[in-house]
A = this chain, B = another copy of it.
Amino acid sequence: MNAGQLQSLKDLIEFLKQQEVGEFELEQEGLKVRLSFAGQGRSAGNNVDLGQLSHLLQYAPAASPAAVAAPAHLSNVSAGPSAVELSTAGEEAGLHIIKSPIVGTFYEASAPGAEPYIKVGDQVESGQVVCIVEAMKLMNEIESDVAGEVVKRMVASGQPVEYGQPLFAVRRR
């Protein structure tokens, strides 16, 4: 299992935990994963140990009205765990997520009016530039870390992105 795969697996487990999944199985192309979380006994049924999760953090903060009033273009950035949520929103079994390695502004093309680097349906190669994230006036070319088919773009051009925010979903070849 290579580093990328391992990272994907870890992401998935974090997500499962966050979603309070008790047991999980996955089989795909020679890969088979099965897991159950602690406190999820077979017969225990819905005996969810809430203590394991942070109650406090499930709490919708009083600050939410203000957050709603945030400029629309920042709404994806404003909630703490948004990257994870977005990640899951676009994630289906077997998809690889290209994430932003830096904080900045996402651009799909090298210049206004130019062709986007990639579009949904395109085939990308590992190392191919897929977009630009501008940070401190610098245009940073972001490369794909896998080869495959672009299944989804998760961010609109011109939108701010945080570290680790999902940009594209790619079905690996």
Contacts and interface: CB of A to CB of B under 8 A. Distances in A.
Contact of A40 (B22, B29, B50): B22
Contact of A39 (B16, B20, B42): B20
* Interface residues of A, dominant DSSP: mixed
Interface stretch (A6-14, A73-81, A108-116): A6-14
Q: Which of A17, A22, A45, A49 has its CB near the most chain B CB atoms (within 10 A)?
A: A22
A36 to B, nearest CB: 5
A32 B41 contact: no
A21 interface: yes
A25 B15 contact: no
Given A15-B10, A15-B13, A32 B38 contact: no
Interface residues of A, number: 44
A145 B34 CA distance: 29
Given A1-B28, A32-B26, A41 B41 contact: yes
Contacts of A32: 25-28
**6 closest residue pairs by CB, A with B:** A27-B32, A25-B34, A22-B38, A44-B44, A24-B35, A41-B44
Interface of A: 1, 6, 8-17, 19-45, 47, 49-52
